[in-house]
Structure 1
Amino acid sequence: MSTPLLEVNDLKKHFPIRGGLLGNTTGYVYAVDGVSFSIEKGETLSLVGESGCGKSTVGRAVLQLFGITDGQVVLDGQRVDTMSPSTFRPLRRRMQVVFQDPFSSLNPRMRVRDILAEPIRNFGLAKDAVDLDDRLARLMDTVRLPRDAIGRWPHEFSGGQRQRIGIARALAAEPDLIVCDEAVSALDVSVKAQIVNLLQDLQKELGLAMLFISHDLAIVEHMTHRVAVMYLGKIVEVADKRSLFSKPMHPYTEALLSAVPVPIPGMARTRKILVGDVPSPINPPKGCRFHTRCPYAFDRCRVDEPELRAPAMHGVAAGHVAACHLHDLPAAENPLLKAA
């Protein structure tokens, strides 16, 4: 069996809360609290969940934009979270990012040429000036922008065009993995579809792996291979796209999917309305973190934290895991199976 391109093992990121005159630590924000997943070469894994669940923090931790509290980040068999900045630098080229906001992620004081040339120069990828120019021209072709636009400033482009420039900047370093952190959420619907199609085409052409962070399940269904669902700093379900969308095994996933607009006019769908607010990541609930909003919660959910494991039942696809005590009940008493 081949080694995954990226492995994340029990990742934790706790941000300290400081207060008082001396700025002493008074508590922690448990933004990410024990997340594990892997991404194969050429695969897209989507990380989904409500705002504030910790999915963007996972992306930044994978990229080593800050230190992690605990756990491991392994790139192609090499653990990177313990590397010094100088040792990690050659590997940084292999992991790039496309940010959410195409307006603030580009330096307004740099022309497109300089924005795209910066990573090429930083990693010493061009042999000479002629090679640099050739690489820049090919990057513009790759993201479907005219070559003569390379001399313009970022403010001269639309939002969708700026995001194409952001994608070209990520591709300039010739990465193996791209983290797309809500890369299409700030765009209009028609432009969003164009960028998603571009990302899919690039993945096929270049063999890229992607960590696609999003809250838009309609987009996720269109472009991903597997989906990991996050809630309050933890992954509660992981499955391939078809299994998760057809047969969710966690009440939170069930509620998220029920809110996705139905593409067929007149088709009915039963909404699963979650009551209450998301608990604070400073003081997460004991037991299952979702039990305060779960319509199916019972006594065990309030005291015992469920493990992420495959439900022991017929018809569950390989690799489909969920953290839910409902799957320890007899099938006739499991409300998730009745709903299905």
Structure 2
Amino acid sequence: MTKRVLEVSDLKKHFPIRGGLLGGTVGYVYAVDGVSFHIDQGETLSLVGESGCGKSTVGKSVLRLFPLTSGQVVLNGKRIDDMSTGTLRPLRRQIQVVFQDPFSSLNPRLRVREILAEPIRNFGLANSEAEIDEKVGQLMDKVRLPRDAVNRWPHEFSGGQRQRICIARALAAEPDIIVCDEAVSALDVSVKAQIVNLLQDLQAELGLAMLFISHDLAIVEHMTHRVAVMYLGQIVEVADRKQLFGAPRHPYTEALLSAVPVPMPGAARERIVLQGDVPSPIKPPPGCRFHTRCPYAFDRCRKEVPRLQDNGAGHQAACHLHDLPAEQNPLLNKAPPTAFRAA
């Protein structure tokens, strides 16, 4: 049986808005509003969506970088969302993170050896300096950097090399899961491909689980096992990679896929241009949050919040269209996006 590494249930993070003469709370930003998902050992779950939809806030909430409004986060069978800082500290070894900007996330005053040795010391994973040196050397081998580079400073490396160091630092704690928060979005195209391939190789070698947060659907389609699509603080669709890219079951996912460049010259595909702007997370619209931009919206969408329900083979979507007869559902009567049709 596959081990469940991370389980998130009804996660909410609402940021208070301060104002008025006394600086009281005048409202909330509903950044994440009822998100649930799970990740198994050796699996990659990608979290995708437009900028500002709450993807990174989910990642930081799972990492307990700030207190949650409500919900549960279970890591390797232990609930961590309500743990005190002291109780949580030894469990932080099990979940590590690779941030978007590899330069700002590295201490410029420490050489690479000290950066990689710090988590080894913090979690008591070595008994001597000689053992630390050996572990640091092995980490450099894993991310395909020369061992003698451990005596250099972060500014002496390129962006891709810095990100490899960040990955090595995450691996130093011997985690079960790594949160990659836009980990390749700041890199050049060729370097991006190298880092993605490295992450896949490390996952296969070490059995790591990954929460891969990204807006780059081409990268996601290449490396993920399952995909969760977010819109305005909520997950609107979850499916296996092939199911989601081959036959999306939510109008928002359909629009996202239509915007991905077609890799085959001359191939035709209908581009879906959504009307209007994303509503404010301070005052989300009633009913389905996507109804203000959805080309298929009807009265029920404006009044009733759709439930994330399974439409078969583990493919979940939060859309009232799936309560209609199949012949009346426009999502079920379309060809899959050209770029993702199976050969």
TM range (shorter): over 0.9
In the TM superposition, residue 339 of structure 1 has moved relative to its aligned partner by 2.1
Contact kept, 8 Å, 2:2 with 2:41, in 1: the verdict is no
Pair 1:338 & 2:333 matched: yes
Q: Tell me which residue corresponds to 2:206.
A: 206
Q: Tell me which residue corresponds to 2:235.
A: 235
Q: Tell me which residue corresponds to 2:172.
A: 172
Tell me the distance in 2 between the aligned counterparts of 1:324 and 1:52. Answer: 21
Contact kept, 8 Å, 2:11 with 2:72, in 1: the verdict is yes
Tell me the distance in 1 between the aligned counterparts of 2:34 and 2:78. Answer: 20
SS at match of 1:5: strand
Q: Tell me which residue corresponds to 1:321.
A: 316
Tell me the distance in 1 between the aligned counterparts of 2:105 and 2:269. Answer: 38
SS at match of 1:186: coil
Tell me the distance in 2 between the aligned counterparts of 1:4 and 1:135. Answer: 28
SS at match of 1:82: coil
Alpha-carbon deviations, 1:82-115, whole Å to 9, x = none? 1111111111000000000112111111111111
1:324 maps to amino acid = C
Where has structure 1 moved over 3 Å in runs of 4 or more?
Answer: none
Q: Tell me which residue corresponds to 2:32.
A: 32
| C-alpha RMSD over aligned residues | 0.9
1:320 maps to amino acid = H
Pair 1:21 & 2:34 matched: no
SS at match of 1:262: coil
Alpha-carbon deviations, 1:174-217, whole Å to 9, x = none? 00000000000000000000000000000000000000000000
Tell me the distance in 1 between the aligned counterparts of 2:188 and 2:246. Answer: 28
What are the equivalent positions in structure 2 for 1:41-52 lying under 5 Å apart?
41-52=41-52
Runs of at least 5 residues in structure 2 that lack an aligned partner in the other structure: 336-343
Contact kept, 8 Å, 2:112 with 2:151, in 1: the verdict is yes
Tell me the distance in 2 between the aligned counterparts of 1:8 and 1:125. Answer: 28
Contact kept, 8 Å, 1:226 with 1:240, in 2: the verdict is yes
SS at match of 1:237: strand
Q: Tell me which residue corresponds to 2:341.
A: none
Tell me the distance in 2 between the aligned counterparts of 1:70 and 1:43. Answer: 26
Alpha-carbon deviations, 1:107-165, whole Å to 9, x = none? 11111111111111111111101100000000000000011111001110000000000
In the TM superposition, residue 3 of structure 1 has moved relative to its aligned partner by 5.0
Alpha-carbon deviations, 1:203-253, whole Å to 9, x = none? 000000000000000000000000000000000000000000000000000
Q: Tell me which residue corresponds to 1:4.
A: 4
Q: TM-score, normalised by structure 1?
A: 0.97
In the TM superposition, residue 72 of structure 1 has moved relative to its aligned partner by 0.1
In the TM superposition, residue 266 of structure 1 has moved relative to its aligned partner by 1.3
Contact kept, 8 Å, 2:12 with 2:71, in 1: the verdict is yes
SS at match of 2:4: coil
SS at match of 2:139: helix
2:288 maps to amino acid = C
Contact kept, 8 Å, 1:3 with 1:77, in 2: the verdict is no
Alpha-carbon deviations, 1:3-27, whole Å to 9, x = none? 5110000000000000123210000
SS at match of 2:65: coil
What are the equivalent positions in structure 2 for 1:70-81 lying under 5 Å apart?
70-81=70-81
Q: Tell me which residue corresponds to 1:266.
A: 266
Aligned length: 335
SS at match of 1:93: helix
Tell me the distance in 1 between the aligned counterparts of 2:290 and 2:179. Answer: 27
In the TM superposition, residue 45 of structure 1 has moved relative to its aligned partner by 0.3
Runs of at least 5 residues in structure 1 that lack an aligned partner in the other structure: none
Tell me the distance in 1 between the aligned counterparts of 2:202 and 2:252. Answer: 32
SS at match of 2:310: coil
1:210 maps to amino acid = M
Pair 1:192 & 2:192 matched: yes
Tell me the distance in 2 between the aligned counterparts of 1:278 and 1:294. Answer: 11
